Structure 1
Amino acid sequence: MGERLKMVSLVLLGLVLTSLGLKFLSIHELTFGGTAGLATVLTFMSSWSWGVLFFLVNLPFFWMSLQKLGKWFTISSFMSIIGISLIRDGLDVLPFFSVPIWLATVLAGLCIGFGVTLVLNNGSSLGGIHILALYLDQKWKLNRGVTIFVCDLSIIIFAAFLVGWGNALLSVFTIFVASTIIGRYKKSPIKVTEQEQEEFSEARSRSIKEA
């Protein structure tokens, strides 16, 4: 119970950090990649809030998550999507300080990078590209940071036609910072040494003989 509470708390912290990073970007009409960036682009063409659009964009990915990544992970990711949608929309109704555009790109990259890392390393995700990245990491050991960076770059190129190439290039820097952090601080799987394997085999053999 204590471990689960710790994981939930870290996921919540990750959602807050990620929401702050996205808010820094929106101040200067910068965008991000993945489904977060796609939702941002859609806000330029719609009167709907970012949170609503982000939730809707992520719905198709939950089928993949349920089929390949398990029920608990899917439920956790679904709750994270709801959580970040509410937190991010909540920041729009609160007073927020403005920073220079260059500082906004750096702060956004750091906040999103560490925020997403906390979410991913504690059994959840932010849907969309992150679910795809986790699936590819699990199946083919592809680095999550690289997968996210490539997908994000594609979204940025599309967004550039709406926000301008100058803002798009600054957004790429933010994506690079965030993706580097995500790839570097990926939680390593537990490795079982040969000695541990032998000890396990011996213990198993003894239990069989005793039975």
Structure 2
Amino acid sequence: MSKSAPKTTKHTRFEDAQAFVYGTAMCALAMMMLKTLGFITGQTAGLALLISYVIEAPFGVVFFVVNLPFYWFGYKRMGLKFVGKTLICVALISVFAETFPSFISFETLNPTFGAIMIGFMTASGLMAIIRHGGSLGGIGIMALYIQDALGFKAGYVQLAFDAVLFAVAAFILPLDLVAYSLLGAVVANLVIAINHRRDRYIAT
């Protein structure tokens, strides 16, 4: 007689909380490494980082402000619960990004090693956040909204945004830094593509 499928269970609030703290801490540390090396990344975090370079403003503050217009898209597409979790995650990473430099600094950080580790940490953090129903807001939310409204695939919207972002960065940052930034983005996307398999999940 075949065994029955395991009963699915929802994450508790404590489990959500630890996932959001862990995920945002990993992403904030990756952002700190990005700033140390002068790199950028994709999506809204990349936009906020590029703006922070240009206007010489704290990344955490810029990231929080840049995300504000996208909450409406999140509410329309995912509902109030999703927006609430996203707001918490964005607030956490904004705070962590500004406080972590008080606890750690990098005297030596090889750019190739840094780009790879940034990709690993970003992917790990994002998977924890997404798995527990949150996000880091921004372009990903708007891409899903556009997909619903116009039928244009969300992945293509995000790719188009990143292409424009890195093209603009090429006029502001040295090309070698843009190349290292692309390496980090590729590593992050590969890790997520290989490990973020919804068909393997049990708890939601």
Q: Normalising by structure 1, what TM-score? A: 0.79
Question: Which residue does 2:43 correspond to in 1?
Answer: 34
Does 1:158 find its partner at 2:168? yes
Q: Quickly say closer, same or farther: Cα 1:66–1:189, change in 2 above 3 A.
A: farther
Cα displacement string for residues 95-146 of structure 1 (whole angstroms, at most 9, x for unaligned residues): 31231111110010000011111111110000102323555788979586x7
Q: Which has the higher contact order (CA 8 A, sep 6+)?
A: 2
Stretch deviating more after TM superposition (11-20 or 124-133): 124-133
Q: Quickly say closer, same or farther: Cα 1:33–1:53, change in 2 above 3 A.
A: same
Matched AA of 2:133: G
Q: Which runs of 5+ in 1 are unaligned?
A: 192-211
Question: Which residue does 1:83 correspond to in 2?
Answer: 92
Question: Which residue does 1:209 correspond to in 2?
Answer: none
Mapping of 1:131-170 within 5 angstroms? 131-132=141-142, 148-170=158-180
Please give the alpha-carbon distance, in whole angstroms, between the structure 1 residues aligned to 2:137 and 2:167.
Answer: 21
Tell me which stretches of 4 or more aligned residues in structure 1 moved more than 4 Å.
Answer: 133-144, 146-150
Stretch deviating more after TM superposition (164-173 or 81-90): 164-173
How much is the aligned-residue C-alpha RMSD, in angstroms?
2.7
Matched AA of 2:59: W
Retained in 1: the 8 A contact 2:11–2:132? no
Q: Which runs of 5+ in 2 are unaligned?
A: 1-9
Please give the alpha-carbon distance, in whole angstroms, between the structure 2 residues aligned to 1:81 and 1:54.
Answer: 8
Question: Which residue does 1:59 correspond to in 2?
Answer: 68
Question: Which residue does 1:99 correspond to in 2?
Answer: 109
Matched AA of 1:48: A
Retained in 1: the 8 A contact 2:146–2:152? yes
Does 1:109 find its partner at 2:134? no
Retained in 1: the 8 A contact 2:85–2:133? yes
Question: Which residue does 1:172 correspond to in 2?
Answer: 182
Retained in 2: the 8 A contact 1:62–1:127? yes
How many residue pairs end up in the alignment? Answer: 190
Matched AA of 1:47: E
Retained in 1: the 8 A contact 2:86–2:135? yes
